Amino acid sequence: MKSSFHYSALALLAAVVAPLAVRAFDAAGHNNLLLYWGQNSAGATGAAQKDWQQRLSYYCEDNTVDVFTLSFLYEFGGGRPTAFDLSNASNNCTGLIEGTQLLNCPQMEEDIKQCQSKGKKILLSMGGATGSYGLDTDKDGETLADDLWSYFGGGSSKIRPFGSAVIDGFDLDLEGGASKGFVGFVNRMRNHYDSDKSKQYYMSAAPQCPFPDAYMGGVLDSTWFDFVSVNNKEQFNYATWDNWARTKSQNKNVRLFVGVPGSTSAAGSGYVPLNTLTTTIGDLQKQYPSFGGVMMWDASQAYINKDGSPNYATAVSQRKKKPSQPTNHDKPRPDYNHYLHWKYHERFHNNAKPYDQLAVIGA
């Protein structure tokens, strides 16, 4: 997914979440906030170094955020070494785990556990716009699922980039290559989820908004996702994705998240001012039972944006009251295209992978 994608998810998600002492993520809810974290979009777009991406635990102090998606696991499958990159946060890792291309990150172990103790869910996003990845067969997908479950999930392995921390699931952001093999990956990973009764795990996806998605359409139709982030690059077509959620998704309670830029510099165009965003979110909550919240790209951008106090993400959340119950699908819906349409920056800090991500999450 592009960097724009990330900013989208963070901003919108923050807008819908009401502040609580300790928030418990409700996957079936309509007011969740999801932020992408890991690619230092602020640093990539010229922000002063003091405003660059902070460590993950810094953002987890904010009670308005429900989900953080780590970006990205950018290399995997097809005989490639598995690797991830977290931009400037990678500098806090201690080097590569022997015999692998995976970073050893004790600080991430600490931060993930701290965030989870505050009710946050932590996902790991796979793919990106310029990563090197792909699978040849469903069997390859199953093998990858086994490996990632052992490395990052509830499995066991000497190879644990985040130590004893166990993430809460995976996010597919496939923007290239063939789609084969990923049905096998998702189904095998869900089998692993079912084998661990100690916690709830989630599977999310971040398709492009043109429907059906060129790389993920078949996977989305054939496997179970808890929420889906739609990458609205060309147009905002929520009604189309809502129809998919109701008629084709394997999970008829899947939630859809809408993505917005976290600031004017997070996207080439399409930034949504605070007042407009809160109004739009309220309308979507009322009109669409599938609406799950907002996804913003990205945390670093949203938290230095002062369109609202103390920042854009928190302000959106604080100004949004608890939504009323969604109405039925017979009622006319407003046109949000003029609100939620943007283009993305493709400028990145020289330590970051050049992912141009934009996210809209739908579950």
Average pLDDT, the chain: 84
- Pairwise CA distance, residues 8 & 69, whole Å: 12
| pLDDT-above-70 percentage for the chain | 80
Question: Hey, which bits of 207-272 come out as E strands?
Answer: 227-229, 255-261, 267-269
SS (H, E, C) 152-188: HCCCCCCCCCCCCCCCCEEEEEECCCCCCCHHHHHHH
- Pairwise CA distance, residues 342 & 80, whole Å: 34
Is the confidence at residue 2, as pLDDT, over 50? Answer: no
Higher pLDDT pick, 21 / 208 = 208
pLDDT bracket for residue 235 (50, 70, 90): low
Q: What is the pLDDT of residue 342?
A: 42
3-state secondary structure of 38: coil
Burial of 267 (0-12, 13-18, 19+ CB in 10 A): buried
pTM recorded for the entire structure = 0.85
Please tell me which of 18-22, 84-88, 254-258, 319-323 the model is most confident about, judged by mean pLDDT: 84-88
Is the confidence at residue 272, as pLDDT, over 70? Answer: yes
Burial of 332 (0-12, 13-18, 19+ CB in 10 A): exposed
pLDDT in tens, 249-258: 999 999 999 8
3-state secondary structure of 282: helix
Residue 35 contacts residue 78 (beta carbons within 8 Å): no
Tell me, yes or no, if 175 is annotated catalytic. Answer: yes
- Pairwise CA distance, residues 82 & 29, whole Å: 34
pLDDT in tens, 93-112: 999 999 999 999 999 999 99
Q: What is the pLDDT of residue 331?
A: 45
The closest of 343, 345, 347 to 270, measured between CA atoms, is: 343
Q: What is the pLDDT of residue 114?
A: 99
Is the confidence at residue 87, as pLDDT, over 90? Answer: yes
Strand partners, 83: 75
Q: What is the pLDDT of residue 120?
A: 98
Instruction: Name the catalytic one among 75, 98, 142, 175.
Output: 175
Say which CATH superfamily domain 3-362 falls into.
Glycosidases (3.20.20.80)
pLDDT bracket for residue 318 (50, 70, 90): confident
> Residue ranges of the domains in the chain?
3-362
Is the confidence at residue 352, as pLDDT, over 90? Answer: no
Kindly give, in sequence order, each residue whose CB lies less than 8 Å from that of residue 99, ignoring residues fewer than 6 positions away: none
